[in-house]
Chains A and B, each alone.
Chain A
Amino acid sequence: MKLRYFAFFLILSAGFASCKKDDHGETTEMVKLHLHTMVGNQAANYTSTFSNNGRSFTLSNLRYYLSNFVLIQDDGTEVPIAGKVILASPDEHEWELGLVPSGHYSGIRFLVGLDSVTNHGDPTVYPSGHPLAPQTPSIHWSWNTGYIFMMVEGKVDTTLAANGSANANFFYHIGLDQMARSVSLSGADVHVEAGGENSFHLAFDLLKALQGVDMRTEIKTHSMDNMMLAEKIANNWPQSFTWE
């Protein structure tokens, strides 16, 4: 008899605990990030041959970390989404970002890459399937403990006249704390409400990230061995994301 009361009490208190999300009397909704990885106006993939200023290339690996999301309401109120990290790739285009108060949102800010604490943490503490857990193929430098923020690998035509075929390996591994870049987009009109779609629609364009990169000669960087090229690409990130 007593135990039955006790069990009831337990259930009741569990119920109260789960209601605490609305502690300011606001309702919260799950918002999603919808992100397409593009090469110009084509969806990025690992089978097509793409063109960068007439120079053909293919992709075999394109992954990048986004983190430190902040959603910005119409009145300028910033709603940070703590701890959320996304490992974006052409294979995936929708992620749950987190619970935020209902309302009208006009902007989003996030980091391409990771903050320095997360970057130098221990990947093995994350459960399998977590974006920060060890990935296969790896997207982490194990000898200096840091993640690769953006990994672009494939083959490119390196003939002078750009009239050959894409058969030379290229790779851009952009990492190190100083390569993280903040991206800020405003002017959207996203209504976060019960039953709504509650999605922020973005696109990342690899061609914009490679603006100014001569893919005939600038074909490799591990960041630390070619900082100029790594910085050139990282500096393009803020302009490579647009509303979709």
Chain B
Amino acid sequence: MARIIVVTSGKGGVGKTTTSAAIAMGLAKKGHKTAVIDFDVGLRNLDLILGCERRVVYDFINVINGEASLNQALIRDKNCNLLYILPASQTRDKDALTHEGVGKVLDELSKDFQYIVCDSPAGIEKGANLALYFADDAFVVTNPEISSVRDSDRMLGILSSKSRRAERNEEPIKEYLLLTRYDADRVKLGEMLSLEDVQEILSLELLGIIPESKSVLSASNAGIPVILDEKSEAGQAYADIVARYLGETLPHRFIDGKQGFLRRLFGGRK
């Protein structure tokens, strides 16, 4: 049986797709057969981030409608042969997703894969609800700003009440916090919420902090998940997250930011 992970946030633009691509790649690199599904029907992006947009033939909706088999629609990643992508349909909308259809696809994938990563669309409508409904674990992607934190809080409410596990009275979905686009310098200046501020509101287990990094944008544009850029801080942060999720104990990094050259020289202000 596969473990189903939903990557969700409520708010858009916080880094759900970047995170989905990175952790799916990370899990596969660690030797686990992983599928990543784009639930953002009509606004397909995951294929771009993973650099497989030119190999899309069939999509998630085709499989749901029985127009293609799962094997026809799954795209094997170029960089890692244990990672498969199920792209969203660009010509349809979220109404094309059905409860039974999604359930059937996930059941079928579960037989063959160890991890299934569901990249949720923004919002709290059908696409997002179906992406989280079958989940075992939830990665709540949050930016250190107040509107993102509130939307994450709302999402946590939905996770605890509208999932299959909640409906069946099973053990609740395990929820993890991923704080993305974190800029330690701006936190110090009081321009950004700190980790403590976010934790005070959400009180969730922190899986990792991904620092704001230029490498994320360049990796996205190149169609290579940022986790493969081992030199970048964001890449290392995602690698830490995957390791922690798989049970390793690693100290949290990137909370205090890097020491600038001048600050190191003169001892800094604090």
Q: Do A and B bind each other?
A: no
B residues engaging A (CB < 8 A)? none
